[in-house]
Amino acid sequence: MWKYELGTVADLADNTPKKGKWKTRVLKAVNSYWSDQIDSLTPLYSTLFFLRQDKYVPGKILPLLSLEYTARESERLKTKVRLLTGTYMFQTKRKNFNQYDINPTCQMCGEENETAEYFVLKCSALHSVRQSIMVDIERQWGAITETSFNTLPVDEQLYILINSWPTLKTFLKTHLSTEFHEFEKHCGRLLYGLDRTRQLLLVTNASQRPPRTKHTQKTN
């Protein structure tokens, strides 16, 4: 009762509410407490970066997860959810959470450290996949906002591709609109295509490495 600011036992004894009224009061207090807690703590976790603009509302799911997806779109959504929740395992993340000396450089192109931004927007090994789908994303973005997606800062482009509703809600009346679904569909295609190509390239690169001998294993 102290935690959720529901008064004291003495207060209840002196003025006992009816069951329904008390239940409503408790539910409202609990929801309010945890909404404030989650909203205040989210910015402190780097893995939740792409959820910082979404206010937590008990009982409601994220707009991008509430759309009626086809089976194919639902399969593609898995990659976006991993990026959205910070659980996609990039080389930089492996280095931060591994006791061994992991190279943070992108294993596909070997040019820069592999981060979400580099993977989604910059890796040269994924350029062909990115280029073909970005045309559809740019066209749909222009149809909704009447602005150019390419003129946005890179960090804003990345945020929109992973979680677009905080930005698009300014231009659309509801997240259930066809325009939002179409934009999210293209974003899902892009992220899924990048992930699939990344997995294939990593397997190919691994198979082309010389086999490790007992000597090199002991040295490593």
Reported as a pLDDT band with limits 50, 70 and 90, residue 15 is confident
Lowest mean pLDDT among 56-60, 110-114, 207-211: 207-211
Other CB atoms within a 10 A radius of the CB of residue 105 amount to: 16
Residue range 144-154, pLDDT digits in tens: 999 999 999 99
Average pLDDT over every residue of 192-218: 77
User: In the block, which residue shows the tokens 């997860």?
Assistant: 65
128 burial (CB, 10 Å; 0-12 / 13-18 / 19+) is exposed
| Two tokens, residue 84 | 């959205």
Is the pTM for the entire model greater than 0.75? yes
For the chain, the first-to-last Cα distance in angstroms comes to 57
**Would you state the pLDDT for residue 219?**
46
DSSP secondary structure letter of residue 136: H
